[in-house]
Structure 1
Amino acid sequence: MKTSLQLKMSQQLTMTPQLQQAIRLLQLSTLDLQQEIQEALETNPMLEVREDDAGDGEHSHHNDNLNGESHSSDSLNGDASKHETSTNDDSDHRQEVEIQEHIPDDLAVDSSWDDIYTHTPTSHGLPSGDDDFNFENVYGTTDSLWDHLNWQLNLTTMTDRDRLIAEAIIESVDSEGYLQSSLDDIFEGLIEALSGDDDPLEMDEVEAVLRRVQHFDPPGVCARDLADCLSIQLNQLPEETLWRSDAIKIVKEHLDLLGTRDYAQLMRKTRLKENDLRDVILLIQSLNPRPGNQIESGKDEYVVPDVIVRKDVKNNRWLVELNPEIAPKLRVNPSYASMVKRADNSSDNTYLKDHLQEARWFIKSLQSRNETLLKVATNIVEHQRGFLEHGEEAMKPLVLHDVAQAVEMHESTISRVTTQKYMHTPRGIFELKYFFSSHVSTEGGGECSSTAIRAIIRKLVAAENPRKPLSDSKIATLLGDQGIQVARRTIAKYREAMHIPPSNERKSLI
């Protein structure tokens, strides 16, 4: 085997740490971004939060166009899409020593290299300065249904034997409040636990304890089935409640007829008139078929909009701006930056140089994220003016490719920008992905978005006669009359996605 020396030239794409950071910041949600900024402030002495109020009251409004001016990379103003240079005195600028590293004006965050770099954001929030007294931390609750039931059990006077039975019953309750195990299984398990007692356990004891536990809050808990759950709630109502006895009879004997909405058969079985049956059904519908859901565990999650859209009535145009509250304003600390010596290679000076470069790249990455987010949001608003003016029925078809082509970026970049980013509009807060939908052709040669079709279906169902609800075929016919050709199976798919039951389940006397 002969040894030889060969010279080869090749080209390959590599992602620098700075580009990785820019892409990672681009796809972070608001809470994740706040956590990232907090970590950067804690680890990099060169970064600090701007305390000046020079630009706090100003918001740079953008409509249709994105200002492409270059900005200083040493500061980032968190105001809505407005990036200002540092307001320090000229003496502070003269003290800073420039590092010989080129930071481009337009940082490239556009990339289709999803297979090279992936990131799964974690849900963290920026801790606030008043965490020592937080209303939700003090008065909120994270108790589960089982904690809630055991807390009531501890306040109930019982013998040790009955308490053991009650604990076994509570352990078999699922998250909706129903018993997962049959009473026979609970009884057999308790026999083994009480095998050492001289007095053998009887089923009557288990049933008696079950009836006591079923009086716990929430009403209807520890039920064996739906009929049992509704009966427990009805029995806990005052005896003088109108139609209580008739409701109990229907729940215990004719729940299947009520489920199939066979009102004619119900009236024959119960000998109730139509108006009376309507009142009984209203009473039953006021009950909770899933009592365990009343006890929610965990903390509430809040959505902080990244983009704010409002209408300038005077000029009749829509203004798009970044939310100034999503991130603090950052800058390079001028005092620490002035300590960097150009020709000094000591460890201390190298430490300061490295952190100064990291701080400038981080600020530039944040600025690029804001500019990209604003550019994409502005383009979305351009496409969906009809939605902002008239609602969902005026939503136009829009796909990632349309926005990517308009802003001259890759579709994967648009996907990153629109994930877990929210827009506040006069019609509510929506995720940016909400404004994207497929299209259906109309008879006039135009296009109608799937979101608009869903809105029309919802409107038709809301206006239908509850005695004769619209079938999927009838809805398809009504859409066809409006020039929108949609198949019946597509109507069914959209209806199920909106959690609208089929026509036979929507039938009602009310």
Structure 2
Amino acid sequence: MMQMEARSEQRQNQTLSPRLQHAVRLLQMSSLDFGTVVRDVLGRNPFLETEEGFDDDLDVDHGADEMDARREQDADGDFDADGESDGAMESAHESDRELWLGDGFAPSRQSHDGDVSALDFMVAETSLNAHLHVQLSTLPLTPRDLALARAVVESLDDDGYLRTPLDELLDWAGLEPAASLDEMQIALRLVQSLEPAGVGARDVAECLMLQLTSIECPRQRSLAGTIVTDHLTSLAARDVPTLARLLGESAGEVESVCDRIRRLDPRPGWRLSPSRVSYIVPDVIVKKERGTWSARLNSTIVPKVRINEDYARLFQQHRCAENAEMGAHLQEARWTMRNVEQRFSTILDVAQAIVRRQRHFFEYGAMAMKPLGLKEIADEVGVHESTVSRVTNNKY
């Protein structure tokens, strides 16, 4: 029979204080997240301030000097009224031209010294909806037909598909009298005739069918239509023998048609989706100086914060029990500065240790990379392996 008894035992466990746990979390953050945390503390803590200031006086003086120079030029009176009038007219014509070409094809603008900016050579991104609206504006449509076509365009998703039933679009058009379903079908067919081919489809099969006109051979186009309409599952499974048996064609001919279908775009809207470029700001920069590879911190990611010593000194002189909250703010400010210093010094130590062991990688590329474990770096830097793991996580 089991008996219950109470006994005590002593055991040693290593626990982390809340502040140390917070420091560990900060060490594992990316520089972007860490900067957000520091800015949040900077906004609510009166003892912290930024090291960088805005030189507003310089901007004001520069603007005042520029205005004075303009006044002096006007006071001279040495200008040609006809020339100024002609320049104004040319400027107006240029403005009208830019409005006409306002979809990203405006002529490049030169800087004051006559050089063309590098931004002028960037590709102007156009969304799918804007691309379709431009095409619709060039067609001879009545205002009613144009409104219905624009309602269809605005209902397309990023893939270029129309996921909304046509009967639900009737209320969205907002026409008087209300549009009929037949009118909406005509508007859909109109949108489906635009570029890119396949836009406005309601499913994958319809999207591929709208693109079959690109197949020049009539026989292959007919086989492709049959496959897309009736045997889309076999096409997706690449089951060529089954398709050849069902269609009564040779396996080679069916394989050729299937290959042609796979060249079509099942997501035509992606061609005009704005590309999102994710820029990475490096934490450490490695450079070769005097024949030696060295690592240094990227100064742009280090928060420029410091403790306002004047506020801290005044608080220490007038400290009492009534302002305990200010004391907590001062302690938080000191902990923040300590975390900033400890974080970036640890990152730099680990980066320098990695560079010393992987210098052949920087010289000759990935083929010269040596296997490197956390324990090797931890022993060299004098920290725990978990610290090295946190330092290298989300860092570049």
Per the normalisation by structure 2, the TM-score is 0.56
Give the conservation status (yes or no) of the 8 Å contact 1:311–1:319.
yes
Among 177, 180, 184, the residue aligned to 2:160: 177
**Counterpart for residue 244 of structure 2:** none
* Pair 1:305-2:282 in alignment: yes
Q: In the superposition, relative to structure 1, how do residues 309 and 159 fare at CA in structure 2: closer, same or farther (>3 Å)? A: same
Q: 1:103-142 maps to which residues of 2 (within 5 A)?
A: none
**Counterpart for residue 21 of structure 1:** 22
Gaps of 5+ in 2: 1-6, 54-118, 228-234, 241-250
* Pair 1:211-2:151 in alignment: no
Question: How many Å separate the matches in 2 of 1:367 and 1:297?
Answer: 40
* Pair 1:294-2:277 in alignment: no
Q: In the superposition, relative to structure 1, how do residues 199 and 299 fare at CA in structure 2: closer, same or farther (>3 Å)? A: closer
Greater Cα offset, 7-16 or 214-223:
7-16
Q: In the superposition, relative to structure 1, how do residues 175 and 192 fare at CA in structure 2: closer, same or farther (>3 Å)? A: closer
**Counterpart for residue 316 of structure 2:** 341
Give the conservation status (yes or no) of the 8 Å contact 1:44–1:359.
yes
**Counterpart for residue 384 of structure 1:** 358
Secondary structure of the residue that 2:299 maps to in structure 1?
coil
The number of residue pairs the alignment matches comes to: 299
Question: How many Å separate the matches in 1 of 2:374 and 2:142?
Answer: 63
Give the conservation status (yes or no) of the 8 Å contact 1:309–1:318.
yes
Letter of the structure 1 residue corresponding to residue 285 of structure 2: I
Question: How many Å separate the matches in 1 of 2:41 and 2:34?
Answer: 10
Larger proportion of helix? 2
**TM-superposition CA deviations, 1:375-423 (whole Å, max 9, x none):** 222233334333322223333334444444443433433332222211x
* Pair 1:222-2:214 in alignment: no
**Counterpart for residue 440 of structure 1:** none
Q: 1:48-197 maps to which residues of 2 (within 5 A)?
A: 48-51=49-52, 157=141, 167=151, 171=155, 173-179=156-162, 186=165
Give the conservation status (yes or no) of the 8 Å contact 2:170–2:179.
no
Shift of 1:46: 1.5
Give the conservation status (yes or no) of the 8 Å contact 2:136–2:146.
no
Secondary structure of the residue that 2:340 maps to in structure 1?
helix
Give the conservation status (yes or no) of the 8 Å contact 2:196–2:269.
yes
Give the conservation status (yes or no) of the 8 Å contact 1:141–1:297.
no
Give the conservation status (yes or no) of the 8 Å contact 2:160–2:268.
yes
Question: How many Å separate the matches in 2 of 1:154 and 1:292?
Answer: 19
* Pair 1:368-2:345 in alignment: no
Shift of 1:362: 0.8
Shift of 1:294: 3.0
Question: How many Å separate the matches in 2 of 1:333 and 1:222?
Answer: 61
**TM-superposition CA deviations, 1:426-475 (whole Å, max 9, x none):** xxxxxxxxxxxxxxxxxxxxxxxxxxxxxxxxxxxxxxxxxxxxxxxxxx
**TM-superposition CA deviations, 1:116-174 (whole Å, max 9, x none):** xxxxxxxxxxxxxxxxxxxx9xx999997568768977998456588558746864x55
Secondary structure of the residue that 2:306 maps to in structure 1?
strand
Question: How many Å separate the matches in 1 of 2:169 and 2:47?
Answer: 66
Give the conservation status (yes or no) of the 8 Å contact 1:331–1:363.
yes
Shift of 1:320: 0.7
**Counterpart for residue 216 of structure 2:** 246
Letter of the structure 2 residue corresponding to residue 396 of structure 1: K
Shift of 1:32: 1.2
Letter of the structure 2 residue corresponding to residue 407 of structure 1: V
Q: In the superposition, relative to structure 1, how do residues 15 and 222 fare at CA in structure 2: closer, same or farther (>3 Å)? A: same
Give the conservation status (yes or no) of the 8 Å contact 1:141–1:299.
no
Letter of the structure 2 residue corresponding to residue 212 of structure 1: L
**Counterpart for residue 329 of structure 1:** 304
Q: In the superposition, relative to structure 1, how do residues 343 and 13 fare at CA in structure 2: closer, same or farther (>3 Å)? A: farther
Letter of the structure 1 residue corresponding to residue 160 of structure 2: G
Q: In the superposition, relative to structure 1, how do residues 403 and 250 fare at CA in structure 2: closer, same or farther (>3 Å)? A: farther
Per the normalisation by structure 1, the TM-score is 0.46
Letter of the structure 2 residue corresponding to residue 177 of structure 1: G
| CA RMSD of superposed structures (Å) | 5.1
Give the conservation status (yes or no) of the 8 Å contact 1:332–1:360.
yes
Q: 1:432-447 maps to which residues of 2 (within 5 A)?
A: none
Question: How many Å separate the matches in 2 of 1:380 and 1:250?
Answer: 59
Q: In the superposition, relative to structure 1, how do residues 344 and 142 fare at CA in structure 2: closer, same or farther (>3 Å)? A: farther
Q: 1:405-424 maps to which residues of 2 (within 5 A)?
A: 405-422=379-396
Q: In the superposition, relative to structure 1, how do residues 141 and 23 fare at CA in structure 2: closer, same or farther (>3 Å)? A: farther
Greater Cα offset, 209-218 or 413-422:
209-218
Q: In the superposition, relative to structure 1, how do residues 159 and 14 fare at CA in structure 2: closer, same or farther (>3 Å)? A: same
Secondary structure of the residue that 1:176 maps to in structure 2?
coil
Secondary structure of the residue that 1:373 maps to in structure 2?
helix
Gaps of 5+ in 1: 1-5, 53-135, 236-243, 271-279, 423-510
Letter of the structure 2 residue corresponding to residue 374 of structure 1: L
Secondary structure of the residue that 2:286 maps to in structure 1?
strand
